[in-house]
Amino acid sequence: MSIILVKNNKGGVGKSWLTLQLGHALALLGKNVLILTSDSQNNILDFSGIDVALGDGLESWVTKGSGDIVRLRDNLNYIPLSNNNFSKIFRNKVKERIILLKEEYDYILIDSVPTLKVDKEFEEIADIIVIPGFMDIVTLQGVNKILESVNVKKVKAIIPNRFNNTAYEKILLEDFKAILEGTDILLTSPIRQSAIISNLIAKNKTVWETNSKKIESVQEILGSVLEVILNEK
Ligand SMILES: Nc1ncnc2c1ncn2[C@@H]1O[C@H](COP(=O)(O)OP(=O)(O)O)[C@@H](O)[C@H]1O
Ligand SMILES: [Mg+2]
């Protein structure tokens, strides 16, 4: 039973997409999985190919104790967010409500938009923090900052994503290796920016819903993160 926070201050690094891939992997292992988000764009629904009217989402769960839950796949549920103007009541109650939800699920994954005020609460209740990122100087600085923060022990994996294998990215990857040396944080192999992944996303499929040999390397990379998640007690 763990709460996994997928975070990075930057948009477009693959937080929502990776949250869904990790959540689906856990669901396929027979775990009961819930995905939450602080992003009212609800990209997880797009990536899953689920088209529903947004009703009473996380706001309602937190303030009233009930609301909508969307089934994405077997064992994989999602609570949408319809409005990210979090009220004070929401911020006060969000932690205890998620802790209550935790009793019903094996894993809760949070697709977070860290610029919002609730990020602190999410960090506090998370057992594991996973950071997807571009291999660029901004991400490096961001990770450096996190490594100095109080929650550093929760950071278990960094996933370079949308990697183009440029000379610059390769240098940054070496810098990442250097700053993570001696920590127990997993730096995965980079996930390439790839047309194969774009095509899968366009078909609303996860990486676990294809037999394409070309996606095996991505499955292996995500598998290394899963191992870390599953080993956390
Ligand atoms: N490795 C990848 N290859 C190709 N497209 C990707 C890859 N990772 C993410 N994407 C695409 O990049 C965009 C940003 O990903 P998303 O998960 O929405 O980022 P975030 O949640 O961090 O803003 C999405 O359109 C997604 O489909
Ligand atoms: Mg997102």
pLDDT surpasses 80 at 203: yes
- Within 8 A by CB and 6+ apart from 145, the residues are none
Bridge-based pairing of strands 155-160 and 70-73 is unpaired
Q: What is the mean pLDDT of residues 27-43?
A: 95
- The per-residue pLDDT for 146 is 81
Q: Is the CB of 42 inside a 6 Å radius of any atom of ligand 1?
A: no
Nearest CA to ligand 1 atom 9: 14
Span 198-205, average pLDDT: 97
- Considering only CA atoms, which of 228, 142, 133, 130 is closest in space to residue 190? 133
* Model pTM score: 0.96
Question: Residue 81: what pLDDT?
Answer: 92
Ligand nearest to the CA of 162: 1
Phi, psi of 4 (to 5 degrees): -115, 120
Asked whether the predicted pLDDT for residue 165 surpasses 80, the reply is yes
Q: What burial class does residue 215 get, using C-beta atoms within 10 Å of its C-beta: 0-12 exposed, 13-18 middle, 19+ buried?
A: buried
Question: What are the beta bridge partners of residue 20?
Answer: none
- Average pLDDT along the chain: 93
Q: In the structure, what pLDDT confidence band is assigned to residue 9 with cuts at 50, 70 and 90?
A: confident
- For ligand 1, the distance from its centroid to the CA atom of residue 53, given in whole angstroms, is 23
What lies within 8 Å, CB to CB, of 163 at 6+ separation is 134, 135, 169, 190, 191, 192, 193
pLDDT score of 54 more than 90: no
Judge whether 11 and 161 are in contact, CB under 8 Å.
no
Distance CA 31, CA 218 (A): 21
Q: CB of 25 closer than 6 A to ligand 1?
A: no
